[in-house]
C-alpha cells in the first residue's frame, strides 16, 4: 500500500481513508455503468442517487429541519461573502458583522458593496486571539454574520451570540462544520467550503431557511440567487458532481463514527491532547488563542524563536507529520485536526512535540 502521512494542512485537508479507497474502487466503473462518475450526466439516475444521498446525509447528521434547503454551490465560501448580502439585504437596514479575523474581514468588505455595514464586535485589538463576549446585534439589522471558527488564528465560538428574533444569523462554518453538535434552528444561513471538514475543494455547502429565499431582488442574475438553486435542488446548472460524491463518501464515514455526536467526543479528545501539551510545556509552546476561545479544529501555537519553529516544522515533516507551518499572520505552527484526522495522528504529533521540546530547550 502507498505510504500515507498525517496531514495537518488547513485546507484542502485530510480525507477519511475509507472515502478515498471507495472512490478509488469506483473510479473506472461507477456501479456497473462502465464509466467513471466524472463521465456521467448530472441528470443520470446514478448521479441522482449520489446527489440526494449527500443532501440526505447532511440533513440527517446535522438534524436540519424541513424548512431549510440544502444547496451545493460553486465559487467557494468566498462567493457566499457576497451572496449573503445580495440575498439578504433589506432597504434601510444595516448588515451587522462580528470581526474575528481575516475571513470575517473579507465577508465585511463584500457586504460593504451592498449597503450599510456595521461591525458590532471585534477581536482585532489582540490579533484575533479571542472571541468577543456580550455581542449585541441591533433589532433593525437585515442580518447578523459571524465566522464560527477562525482557521488562521485558531479561535472558535463555543456559545452562539444572542440575535434578535427577526434577525437571521448567517454563519461561516467553513472550518468547523459538523465538528460538534449545533442546533441549526439558531441560524438563518450556514455555509461552508467543503475542503476542510466534509470533502474536497470545489463545492460549498449552503443551508438556508426557506423564507429567506424570497428576499432577493428579482432582477438579480440567476446564478447569484439561492432561490434559483433551491428551486432546482442544486441542479440548475452542471454542478461539481465529483466533489459532491466525495462529500457523500466522507459523510458516510462520519455517520459510521456515530455522526456529529460521535465525532464531537473524538474532536474534544484530540484537541485536549495538544492543548494539554501546550499548557504543560512551561511556556516552550505558547498557544495563540485565549483558553476559552480555543478551536477544536485549528490549534495555533508558537515556539520560543522563529528558528526553532522552522526547525520543528521541518523535523515534523521528516517524521511524516505534514502541513504544520502556521499562517503568516500568526506565525509559528498550526495543527489542523479536522474530523478526518484520526486520534492516532494527533497522538503521534504530541509525541513528536514532546521529544522536540526535550531535545531543544
Whether 103 is a known active-site residue: answer yes
> Counting contacts by CB under 6 A, is residue 267 touching ligand PMP?
no
174 versus 357: smaller Cβ distance to ligand PMP: 174
> Counting contacts by CB under 6 A, is residue 103 touching ligand PMP?
yes
Instruction: Look at the block and give the residue holding cell 503568516.
Output: 328
> Counting contacts by CB under 6 A, is residue 53 touching ligand PMP?
no
Q: What residues contact 320, with CB distance under 8 A and at least 6 apart? A: 5, 6, 348
Residue 285's CB is within 10 A of a number of other CB atoms, namely 24
> Counting contacts by CB under 6 A, is residue 293 touching ligand PMP?
no
CB of 74 to ligand PMP, least distance (A): 10
Whether 185 is a known active-site residue: answer no
The region of 41-49, 109-117, 156-164, 172-180 touching ligand PMP under the rule CB under 6 A is 172-180
Q: Which position among 20, 36, 74, 76 is part of the footprint of ligand PMP (CB under 6 A)?
A: 76
205, 70 in Cβ contact below 8 A? yes
Which DSSP symbol is given to 232? T
3-state secondary structure of 102: helix
> Counting contacts by CB under 6 A, is residue 128 touching ligand PMP?
no
> Counting contacts by CB under 6 A, is residue 78 touching ligand PMP?
yes
Q: Which helix (H) or strand (E) holds 301?
A: strand 298-302
Beta-bridged to residue 6, according to DSSP, are 321
22 versus 294: smaller Cβ distance to ligand PMP: 294
CA angle 256, 277, 345 (to 5 degrees): 35
Please give the radius of gyration of the chain, using alpha carbons only, rounded to the nearest integer.
21
CB of 21 to ligand PMP, least distance (A): 26
Q: What residues contact 312, with CB distance under 8 A and at least 6 apart? A: 303, 324, 333, 353, 356, 360
> Counting contacts by CB under 6 A, is residue 184 touching ligand PMP?
no
Q: Which helix (H) or strand (E) holds 191?
A: strand 189-193
Whether 355 is a known active-site residue: answer no
Give the total of residues touching ligand PMP (CB under 6 A): 11
Q: Which residues are marked as active site?
A: 103, 172, 196
Please give the residue ranges that form the binding site for ligand PMP (CB under 6 A). 11, 76-78, 103, 147, 151, 172, 174-175, 193
Amino acid at each position: 500500500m502507498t505510504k500515507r502521512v498525517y496531514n495537518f494542512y488547513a485546507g484542502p485537508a485530510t480525507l477519511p481513508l475509507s472515502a478515498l479507497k471507495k472512490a478509488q474502487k469506483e473510479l473506472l466503473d461507477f456501479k456497473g455503468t462502465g464509466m467513471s462518475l466524472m463521465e456521467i450526466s448530472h441528470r443520470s439516475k446514478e448521479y441522482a442517487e449520489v446527489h440526494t444521498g449527500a443532501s440526505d446525509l447532511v440533513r440527517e447528521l446535522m438534524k436540519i429541519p424541513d424548512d431549510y434547503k440544502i444547496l451545493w454551490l460553486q465559487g467557494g465560501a468566498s462567493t457566499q461573502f457576497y451572496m449573503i448580502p445580495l440575498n439578504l439585504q433589506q432597504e434601510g437596514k444595516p448588515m451587522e458583522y462580528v470581526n474575528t479575523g481575516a475571513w470575517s474581514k473579507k465577508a465585511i468588505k463584500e457586504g460593504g458593496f451592498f449597503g450599510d455595514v456595521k461591525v458590532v464586535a471585534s477581536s482585532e485589538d489582540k490579533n484575533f486571539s479571542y472571541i468577543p463576549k456580550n455581542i449585541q446585534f441591533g433589532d433593525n439589522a437585515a442580518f447578523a454574520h459571524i465566522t464560527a471558527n477562525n482557521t488562521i488564528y485558531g479561535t472558535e465560538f463555543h456559545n452562539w451570540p444572542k440575535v434578535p428574533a427577526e434577525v437571521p444569523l448567517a454563519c461561516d462554518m467553513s472550518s468547523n462544520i459538523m465538528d460538534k453538535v449545533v442546533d441549526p434552528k439558531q441560524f438563518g444561513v450556514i455555509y461552508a467550503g467543503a475542503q476542510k471538514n466534509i470533502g474536497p475543494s470545489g463545492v460549498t455547502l449552503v443551508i438556508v431557511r426557506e423564507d429567506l429565499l424570497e428576499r432577493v431582488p428579482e432582477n438579480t442574475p440567476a446564478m447569484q440567487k439561492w432561490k434559483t438553486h433551491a428551486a432546482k435542488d442544486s441542479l440548475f446548472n452542471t454542478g461539481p458532481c465529483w466533489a459532491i460524491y466525495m462529500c457523500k463518501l466522507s459523510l458516510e464515514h462520519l455517520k459510521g463514527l456515530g455522526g456529529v455526536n460521535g465525532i464531537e467526543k473524538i474532536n474534544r479528545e484530540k484537541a485536549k491532547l495538544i492543548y494539554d501539551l501546550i499548557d504543560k510545556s512551561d511556556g516552550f509552546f505558547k498557544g495563540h488563542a485565549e483558553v476559552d476561545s480555543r478551536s477544536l479544529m485549528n490549534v495555533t501555537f508558537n515556539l520560543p524563536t522563529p528558528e526553532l519553529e522552522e526547525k520543528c516544522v521541518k523535523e515534523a515533516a521528516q517524521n511524516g507529520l505534514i502541513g504544520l507551518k502556521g499562517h503568516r499572520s500568526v506565525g509559528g505552527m498550526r495543527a489542523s485536526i479536522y474530523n478526518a484526522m484520526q486520534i492516532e495522528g494527533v497522538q503521534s504529533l504530541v509525541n513528536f512535540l514532546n521529544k522536540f521540546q526535550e531535545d531543544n530547550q
